[in-house]
Amino acid sequence: MNGQMSYMENHFDKRLNPTLLVDDAKSVISLLLNYYPSELQNEDSYKISKYAYGQDYHHVIKEKLKELLHFIQAEIGEVSGRAFVDSAPVLDKAWAAKSGLGWVGKNSNLITQKVGSFYFIAELIIDLELDYDTPTTDHCGSCTACLDACPTEAIVAPYVVDGSKCISYFTIELKDNLPQEMKGKFDDWMFGCDVCQDVCPWNRFSKPHNEPLFQANRDILNFSKSDWEEITFDTFQKVFKNSAVKRTKYEGLLRNINFLKD
């Protein structure tokens, strides 16, 4: 159910065995970083997933992980390891759940009772034995809010997401024309989608992040639909400088906007 995301089929052995990613690996340290914004977009706007409001999380978090590894080395001595931020065949959510940071919910996101699910997951895989944490319990209960709300019915069963039907897949990963049968089902999302998180009851506990690099460009918050429809390449470059939105490129964003407005 991965559509054109063929990279998900690669290196399955490494996904299951971190010692193939880091020599002599002994431990996976899973970490979370909140990205929930203090302000949301103008309501009369095409929507961008909240994780992409600020600077590209890959770069922001990679620097923090390097600092953490240096701290470990300074405190303990010679420790080898490697940082991962959604950029290698690592089972981010599975390792985080195994470490007790949350449970994988019915929308397939990692959820915690304390702060919901609006956070990034990253790892340090190191060659040091640690005192290990244990998994927590599932607290989705009988709730089906995410299944009921998904605009494209991509959550095909509890805990099972068909990635090839997800709005995030269509607006970011799919390079072809958007399928006509999805017309009118995108709920004005032009980059990513937060619906299954927005309706999750645990996200009522979300609190705004305190990372300056995740602060939104004011244009992202203030632009109206007409502003987005008229966006030029130069404005795209300015608004999304160092942004994860660059993954879809200017042409991809225009394709998404045109699909929404026609």
pLDDT digits (tens, 9 = 90+) for 110-158: 999 999 999 999 999 999 999 999 999 999 999 999 999 999 999 999 9
Mean pLDDT of the chain: 96
How confident is the model over 35-78, as pLDDT tens digits?
A: 999 999 999 999 999 999 999 999 999 999 999 999 999 999 99
Cβ pair 105, 69 in contact under 8 A: no
Q: How confident is the model at residue 5 (pLDDT cuts 50, 70, 90)?
A: confident
Residues 6 or more apart whose Cβ sits within 8 Å of residue 8: 2, 163
Q: Which candidate, 26, 86, 102, 99, places its Cα nearest to that of 51?
A: 86
Q: Which candidate, 147, 107, 123, 12, places its Cα nearest to that of 62?
A: 123
Q: Which residues are catalytic?
A: 86
3-state secondary structure of 124: strand
